Chains A and B, each alone.
Chain A
Amino acid sequence: MKILVLAKQVPDTATQVKISSNPRAIETAGVTWIVSPYDEFALEEALRIKEKRQGTEVVAVSLGPDRVKETIRSCLAMGADRAIHLNDPAWADADTLTTARALAAVIKQEAPDLVLTGRQAIDDDMGAVTAQVAEILGWPCASWIMEEAIADDGKTVRAGRQVEGGLEIFDLPLPAVLSAQKGLNEPRYPTLKGIMGAKKKEIRDVKAGDLGLAAEPPQLSLLTLEALPPRPPGRVIPGEVKEAVRELVKALREEAKVV
């Protein structure tokens, strides 16, 4: 069985995001980059499948500039067998659809039995790529999964996805696309041996031309990033409790309109 894991490089959750002098981008100097946590759940699940099913190959796929190599090496250190790096200036302004087309083209080349990814990347939180990839491929898709089990014959996968107050259980024919929700598993640490072994694993660099894709302008073009307006200061209502409460309730009713 072959599993492709789509992983995106994102700023560490502890990063204080600042808008750069180019208002369409964030300041990347000094940012620590990590594998998007939901994608890490996806990779962990792929590695668990590999441990259960002999002969399974796990391939990590990531799209982005040179710095993405570090993310790819983390995936290899955790246990992916090899990796594919989609790295081309043509994708510098890629929107989710362009990204999905590129990923789908690689998936067609590789012809895996299963594609696993995170429910969304934690940087822009768009959450569109999973569905777009599945749509382009014409494959079934279940998102936000909390559990999965591949049938012994390797022809279907049973996936449980989170819905309000419970799980929704599906059977999907393979190949299929699944996206991971938090709770699917607890990702392992890369071992030191894994870190040192990662260097010896193959990373295939892929350009748009290798996939037969022409450069295309993004359909979703980013105009600007804006910082949130600063929170207005709170108001203290002074005076006797009785009158103050009366005034508070009045303000909640007439100004804030919440009661």
Chain B
Amino acid sequence: MDLDLTDDQRALQALCRDFAKKDILPHRDEWNTTGRFPVEVFRKMADLGLMGLLVPEEYGGTGVGAVAYVAAMEEIAKADQSVASTWNAHLTIGSLPLLYFGTEEQKRRWLVPLARGERLGAFGLTEPEAGSDARAIRTTARRDGDGWVIDGTKMFTTNAGTEISQGVILLAVSGTRADGGKEYSAFMVPRGTPGFDVGRLIPKIGWHAVDTRELIFRECRVPGDHLIGQAGVGLRQFMQALAIGRISVAALSLGLAQACLEVSIEYARQRRQFDRPISTFQAIQFKLADMATAVENARLIVFKAAWLHDRGRPFAKEAAMAKLYASDTAMHAALEAVQIHGGYGYTDEFVVSRFFRDAKILQIGEGTNEIQRLVIARLLGC
């Protein structure tokens, strides 16, 4: 058993820590206050080779593996959740369906620009009336000569409306099976395709600098070569892409939990009440000790899931556990961080108030924590 990162993994982690310190921390307040999408950050990350971490070199990426990626994500996520969640969506669900299921031609055409960071990837599954119940999607793709015509609406899509967005990989109902069940297929819809309207930015509790939108498709025609993978098995494909996405969101959560812990320790050591630092009170010490223990536990399960992935072993159960546990840990750590900061923690002057706002979505996105429990139970044989 070896819990150490390799030299390369540590070097990537150090690079991300350094990048976060110099290029994220000084600007994060501005992005989150104005809600501006910081395109320049992703251009710089592209120059450093950070936009294709899970894509092999032959398709423009760096293929460092999930363990290295998780180590890198923790550093970026510690600095800013908006940047980190944009990065997360791009690297996993926004790019990997093309890698897993795309044809050689599709990989050259769409995956390479994503992995090089010239374009940002997006993934559209959720709809106004289909969240956890993915089978209930209503967006349809109808065969029309050589191509397909897409109609419907996607909700809460990340990364589809920025100036460097490539478009969206979406799931649609593409037909009916012999037994009457629905068939699902995945499609690439490039930005600018007639009939594809990028809706307005959706205001949110947190993740203020993330491009989150509703996407509307009306008689949107795409050629036959925009079908990704096989017709009819799109749902299964999407579920596969979500499994690694869960490890990624777990790492995103881990970074936030760690950040909550670090700022809380720092604050508790400085803040004086009753003539001594509040870190000397057992009430605060127990909070910090519990937070630190949970964060360390979260780290272990997140890295374990990533390690299983890199070994080519089954990892879906651990990925679900990691996502469930790390996001609950992040939410709880954010709650306690605000409590330790007292009234100041409720103000915009202290970063914990932002951590608090950013934490909640982690229990919801990429499969709610209730769905994670269902996934785990199913893999336990229930």
Contact = CB atoms under 8 A, between A and B. Distances in A.
A189 B12 CA distance: 11
B11 A190 contact: yes
A205 interface: no
Interface stretch (B42-50, B99-107, B344-352, B359-367): B42-50
A113 B12 CA distance: 33
A192 B7 contact: no
Query: Which one of A73, A192, A193, A199 has the highest number of Cβ atoms from chain B below 10 Å of its Cβ?
Result: A192
A73 B64 contact: no
Nearest to A198: B11
A11 to B, nearest CB: 14
Contacts of B15: 189-190, 192, 195
A74 B62 contact: no
A189 B7 contact: no
A73 B9 CA distance: 13
Given A189-B48, A191-B47, A191-B49, A196 B8 contact: yes
Interface string A40-78: 000000000000000000000000000000100110010
A203 B47 CA distance: 26
Given A74-B11, A77-B11, A199-B8, A192 B62 contact: yes
Contacts of B8: 195-196, 199
Contacts of B219: none
Interface residues of B, number: 16
A186 to B, nearest CB: 9
Contact of A193 (B10, B14, B62): B62
A73 B48 CA distance: 17
A195 B11 contact: yes
A73 B7 CA distance: 9
Interface in A189-223: 189-193, 195-196, 198-199
A73 B8 CA distance: 10
Interface in B326-370: none
Given A73-B11, A196-B8, A189 B64 contact: no
Contacts of A198: 11
Contacts of B14: 74
A70 B7 contact: yes
Contacts of A191: 47-49
B267 interface: no
Interface in B19-67: 19, 47-50, 53, 62, 64
A189 B18 contact: yes
Nearest to B72: A192
A18 to B, nearest CB: 16
Contacts of A77: 11
A26 B231 CA distance: 64
Nearest to A186: B22
A192 B18 CA distance: 13
A138 B172 CA distance: 76
B70 to A, nearest CB: 15
Nearest to B19: A189
Interface string A61-101: 00000000010011001000000000000000000000000
Contacts of B12: 192, 195
B53 to A, nearest CB: 8
A156 B327 CA distance: 60
Contacts of B53: 192
Interface in A112-132: none
A131 B346 CA distance: 54
A80 to B, nearest CB: 14
6 contacts: A190-B15, A192-B62, A193-B49, A193-B62, A195-B15, A199-B7
Given A74-B11, A190-B11, 16 more contacts: A70-B7, A189-B18, A190-B15, A191-B48, A192-B48, A192-B49, A192-B62, A193-B49, A193-B62, A195-B8, A195-B11, A195-B12, A195-B15, A196-B8, A196-B62, A199-B8
